[in-house]
Amino acid sequence: DVKVTQSSRYLVKRTGEKVFLECVQDMDHENMFWYRQDPGLGLRLIYFSYDVKMKEKGDIPEGYSVSREKKERFSLILESASTNQTSMYLCASSSSQGNTEAFFGQGTRLTVV
């Protein structure tokens, strides 16, 4: 089974802190994605990556950055956390060949206080 693992289920951080959300996948997928999910807004794409050291902005990249130093790992960084970044964060991965469905991690519920 495909497995996408996010480092934390729940996280509480203070305003202004630098926050790291880690995601690891074990299926050798080329593509990895970070979404945030908010009530009434659905899933919105923050950043995605097609390959190691490559990154592309999604729909809402402001206030975030990403890092992909290894194929299996994709990190989301909140440079200076703010209360409006309180949300559910979801990591996903997919193959660029054949079946292209994305598989998601269990999510990280981040609260910024």
Nearest distance from residue 109's CB to another protein, in Å? 7
Nearest distance from residue 42's CB to another protein, in Å? 4
Q: Single out the residue of 29, 35, 37, 38 nearest to residue 47, CA to CA.
A: 35
Residue closer to another protein, measured from CB, 82 or 100: 100
Residues that bind another protein (CB under 8 A): 4, 31, 33, 35, 40-43, 45, 48, 50, 56, 58, 90, 92, 94, 96, 99-107, 109
